[in-house]
Amino acid sequence: MFWLVAIGVSQAQSHEGFAPFNRERISFEKQGMLLLATWSLGNLAWGGIGASNSQGVAKGFHQMNMYWNGVNLIIAGLGYYHAFKEIPSSEFWETLDAQHRMEKILLFNAGLDVGYIAGGLYLNERGKRLGREQWQGFGKSVVLQGAFLLSFDIIMYLVMRDHAGDLPRIFEQVVVSGNGIGIRVPIR
């Protein structure tokens, strides 16, 4: 009996059933990386102009915006490339794994973002105490970038979490019979 169920699950997983769900998740990932890249490019331009036209705290702020967003742009490029290369799986376990992995990454990143904000606040305060204007500017920039990334990661997590709500609708198409488990595909 178990052998028949396993064969049925394997056959059900190889069907198109989960591929549309995965295509949509991948699309959300690409859109997120494009948003991050846009933010990064804007900050690189703003930072370059600002750093060349300012001094003291403001110069440090703009310099850190450029440094930070150079890294963000690389991360966005790699993330977009990974999503672009991903082939939407039609298999159930791969679908769950990819969905949960993305949610965990976003929550982990949100925790890091809180750390960035705290570090930026510390750097700003330390710069004030030691009279280091560049540190103050760096700290203010890290707070801004951390706040953006925290918002970004929370919003992306909520989008992905909402998307995961579509999985129960997919399960409405699951059929259990004496021959195994399959997915009912309506013909239009």
Q: For residue range 59-105, list pLDDT tens digits in order.
A: 999 999 999 999 999 999 999 999 999 999 888 889 889 999 999 99
Q: In terms of pTM, does the model score above 0.75?
A: yes
**Angle, alpha carbons 117-118-122 (nearest 5°):** 115
CB-count burial class (<10 Å; 0-12, 13-18, 19+) for 137: buried
The rounded percent of the chain whose pLDDT value lies above 70 is 80
Task: Read off the tokens for 176.
Answer: 């259990």
DSSP H or E stretch at residue 176: strand 174-177
Q: Which residue has the higher pLDDT, 159 or 1?
A: 159
Q: What is the pLDDT of residue 89?
A: 87
The rounded percent of the chain whose pLDDT value lies above 90 is 72
pLDDT range class, residue 170, cuts 50, 70, 90: low
- Across-strand partners of 180? 177
